[in-house]
Structure 1
Amino acid sequence: MRIAEFTPEIGDAEIARVVGSMKANWLTEGEKTAELEKLLANYFGCRRVVMMPNGTLAIFAALKILGIGEGDEVLVPDFTFFGTASAVVLAGAVPVFVDVDPRDGNMCVRAAEASLSQRTRAVLPVHMYGQAADMAALTAFAARHGLKLIEDAAQGMGVTFGDRHVGTFGEIGCISFFADKTMTTGEGGALIVNRESLIEDCLYFKNQGRLRRGSFVCDRMGYNFRITDVQSAVGLAQFERVEETIRRKRALREQYYELLKHCPGVRLPEENGFGRVVPFRVNIQVDDPAELSRHLEARGVATRRYFYPLHLQPGFKGYQTVMRQRPVNSVALFESGLMLPSGLNLTTQEIEFVCDNIVEFQSEQSCKGRSLAAGV
């Protein structure tokens, strides 16, 4: 038996829409992308959605559109995917690594306060693993210090803070439609825009300095950040069942939790209570995730560790970064967290197999611990 860590769901609906797009002989960005943008804007409750090539470039675009660049500091949670901060570097700005709340892995406002300087221009919270960050506290923090607020909602499809969709609180929100997200276009992302004055800026930026294609006169500096209607065709099919996908993701987590709730040494992350949670993966925390991962891999079960803290990432060597307080919680999360297989095509037999092997390993570890404590 081989159980993948994640596989996207692509079926007849996606194939039919892609074939329709190909038969229409329109391969670049066009009517299907416009249709998807309108559906998403209505779903998010924002003025405009502007599709982007991916989530990382969406963050880069948001920074540049808001005038963040050379020498500016941007507060970034230390516990997030590399792309959150690499987008800051790409924009010419300096990422400042901020510790997170140990309960949900989201940016800690107290740590953000301690990380400010005269060069701080923006704060970039991430809605980690499908749970909203504390947007009440972060919105107040940004307003208090005159900072631009950009939300990394890469994993945030369907996630809310209160009754508002994440990505709608800041000047610009950024979402990803990568293959492992709740809704996918293969590669892809989007800007979530609520300020009317920013909509044109986003369109100029993504369309090589023009509001519309067809002209060789480019009124501003801009770039080609378009996607294709073939990708949007996949997105339209995915969007049709997004609420069903969310329901199934939550049910999958509950199925795992029910099987693991009495497992020795397994801690099951709890919801923070800020709004609707859409699990990015089924996560657990244990004392030795590396050894548990090896145990499962030997039995054909693929897993992933939690995100590696940014301040430890070798990829930032040689680039200017700032850390005004040494992150502790981001390291603790990495050293305990493990993502379990989370594809929606998992069978009950496969889930039980995964959990049985976790229980087996953890029970052995618990027995070893008791033996050592007893001096045996």
Structure 2
Amino acid sequence: MDNHVVIIGAGEAGARLAHELHTGGWTGSITLLGEEDRPVYERPPLSKNVLVDDRPSPVEPYRDGRLEWPGLTVRTGVTAQSINRTDRTVRLADGEEIPYDRLVIATGARSRRLPDLAVGVRTLRTWDEALRLRSVLDAGGSLLVIGAGLIGLEVAASARSRGLAVSVVEMRPRALERAVPEPAAEVVVQRHLAEGVSLHLGTTVESLEEREGGWLARLSDGTEVVADAVVAAVGSVPETALAKAAGLHVDDGIVVDGQMRTSDEHVWAIGDCCAGPVDVLGRRARLESWRMAHDQAVTAAAAIRGEDVRHTAIPWFWSDQYDLSLQVAGAAAAASTWVQRPQPDGSTVHLGLDDAGRIVCAAGAGGPRVAKDVRMSERLMTSGKVIDPALLADADIPLKTLLRS
């Protein structure tokens, strides 16, 4: 059996893959390559806990020997420069070549940067960037956030909770438009407004001028916003340069099949850098979330071990803002009708159904009960059951009973 696996990228996806291979009985050798010169850490806390905790520390899930065993080599602070698919080697920036039998690309994504804006605009993707942004928040004052997606609003909530005056500018007509159904997104928006955040929707930053001690932003609607610091949270770009240069199929991410295999049978791709089939959407998509990276790693590990497996995991993500927990499972874009399921605390879980009446999305912002119903809705999605919408809307009927019916 071809038994040397090289993994490019030591984030959640790459590290999880190494762990899954080991715990699944892989007897070959594994080399895990990471660009950042630090232990593997999780990114979701960067826009939340790291910005607000008194003494922030990275969440390092593979401490305590979980990535220490014979046959695994973890190398941090190294950069993969090229892939030779003919010779099956990875060339590092220092010229060293590492042979592989099977290669996994888990290079993630980088923050999208706005053209024509000043170089002093902050972004948030890495631990070091989070610490630099934290030092900005330590100074107090005011913050302008460009982008009202998940990261932008999490940064806004963190900054506001620390007492900064916060303005958010979003080019789309509403916040969280990409992946969150409007009623659930509106709950989050109203909470930001109640906290004093100034939201500018449906407008863009036309110019940004750095002045002594601050910034002046002129918006397309004529508004001027003055801030001490600026953060751009306008999405990400998949890190596909290595794959593209190696001749792999790339289309808004490294294209993979249901086993996370690329157009080369010896190469897989997982995490934020890849685009693969999403059953609930009925098409290929690139999905960025901690859980998706984890689930794709599990699938790829099984495929590398030779198991007959296909990736069928339901997309799921969460966002903590103030005391709200936003939970979304499935894909809002796949829904044609919506059912509202009220919760005892006054919140609502919104259930999206496709044309056949199957649940394809569940979303809500609130407390523990919302999270519970979203998790149970995910199980209903997996089952493919068609359930009477009236039963779904009846809060007195536990969703788990519908799963058994």
Normalising to structure 2: TM-score of the pair?
0.31
Task: Choose between structure 1 and 2 for higher RCO, CA contacts under 8 A separated by at least 6 residues.
Answer: 1
Greater strand content: 2
Greater helix content: 1
Normalising to structure 1: TM-score of the pair?
0.32
